[in-house]
Amino acid sequence: MTRTLLLSTTLIAGLATMAPAETLRLLTWGGYAPDDVVQMFEEQTGHSVEVTLSNNEEMIAKLRATGGGGFDLAQPSQDRIMGPQREFGIYKPMDMSRVDQSLFIPSMLEATMGNTTVDGAVYGVPHIWGTSGLVMNTAEAGDVVKDYTDLCDPAVAGKVSYRLKRPTLIGFAFAMGEDPFAAYGDEAEYKAIMEKVEAKLTECKPNVKTYWSGGDELMNLVRSGEVVASMAWDTGGWKLNEDNPDITFVAPASGALGWIDTFVLPAKGQADEAAYDWINFVMQPEIAAKITAAAGNFTASAGADEYAEDALKAKYQASFPQEAIDNIKWYPPVPAGLESIEGEVLDRVQAAN
């Protein structure tokens, strides 16, 4: 145990002795609360932890059914906070003075706080994150493909792949110099951006080997060499790198597209002390690295990559220098009406000759 971790855990233990021990009812995803981390937390704080595994849809359903009761800490994605809070009032505001903000990667904390603010109050802080960007054979496409629209370069004609899904629309928009997220509040402007993207994707069709629909399908295409550049998730690129060091995930020049699973306080939670203690405990870099090992994704803990398993740390640091992390475009909540615009664009691209 390092001196920093010892000091932090001693502080948490000290805080716990000042208030009665609580039972933390945690609603989370698989891998986000590993048994060894739970045991360390219980030993060092005196709190106990009851873990319920779930996903976004189930989390919102459970909290809606109880008006925000039954749990003390939950972990929905950041785009599942603002809308449900406005509609159902299932969360309580975070007291940011009780969160050790120095433990977080600043750009991720700022983005999540902004995307989960309702009526001036912050409702979420970041935990686990991941991105989509470029997965490619750098030996064959690295000199050509630096951004999403480079998938349309003649040098890689017939050897690229991406999904006909909204991440492709969003990624191409950013690569074309647009800001689709800034246009979320203006349906007409968003439609105009999507029309430009539609034209580019239609023009790009001859370059596409196939539009992939499943991760295994894409990974087989890249492994076989049929596809040398694609849009896909970071973890997929790192997995392929284990078999071929030339293949990896690359953050696009215009920014990888990021998702974040958060910490939120359910409206009727009864163990706030334990909830804040858990947040501050698991965001310590060495503890966060244990969660990365269990979940497969990195956390918003500043410096936690240094404690990750060596091979994964090397892949992460190669894909995400600091400037690439700060350039991630985090998905905000999707306003009503935009999905239909996107669906029509994707249908027309699919049907185009």
Burial (CB count within 10 angstroms: exposed 0-12, middle 13-18, buried 19+), residue 65: exposed
Spell 120-142 as b/e; 16+ CB within 10 A means b.
eebbbbbbbbbbbbbbbbbebbb
CA–chain centroid gap for 278, Å, is 20
* Token duo for residue 68: 């925000």
Q: Which residues contact 48 (CB under 8 A, 6 or more apart)?
A: 21, 22, 23, 24, 42
Cα angle at 333 between 72 and 347, to 5 degrees? 135
| DSSP bridge partners of 126 | 262
| CATH fit for domain 3-123+258-326, picks 3.40.190.10, 2.102.10.10, 3.40.309.10, 3.40.50.720 | 3.40.190.10
pLDDT by residue (tens digit) across 151-188? Answer: 999 999 999 999 999 999 999 999 999 999 999 989 99
- In the block, tokens 């948490």 appear at 12
DSSP single-letter state for residue 256: -
pLDDT by residue (tens digit) across 15-45? Answer: 444 567 999 999 999 999 999 999 999 999 9
- What confidence tier does 5 reach under pLDDT thresholds 50, 70, 90? very low
Answer for the pair 347, 198: CB distance below 8 angstroms, yes or no.
no
Q: Which residues contact 219 (CB under 8 A, 6 or more apart)?
A: 236, 239, 240
Is the torsion defined by CA of 192, 198, 199, 200 positive or negative?
A: positive
Report the distance separating Cα 292 and Cα 204, nearest Å: 37
| DSSP bridge partners of 214 | none
Q: Do 3-123+258-326 and 131-256+332-351 share a fold? A: yes
pLDDT by residue (tens digit) across 92-144? Answer: 999 999 999 999 999 999 999 999 999 999 999 999 999 999 999 999 999 99
Instruction: Return the amino acid letter for 70.
Output: G
CATH number of 131-256+332-351: 3.40.190.10
Burial (CB count within 10 angstroms: exposed 0-12, middle 13-18, buried 19+), residue 7: exposed
Could you tell me the residue ranges of all domains in the chain?
3-123+258-326, 131-256+332-351
Poorest-pLDDT segment among 3-7, 187-191, 270-274: 3-7
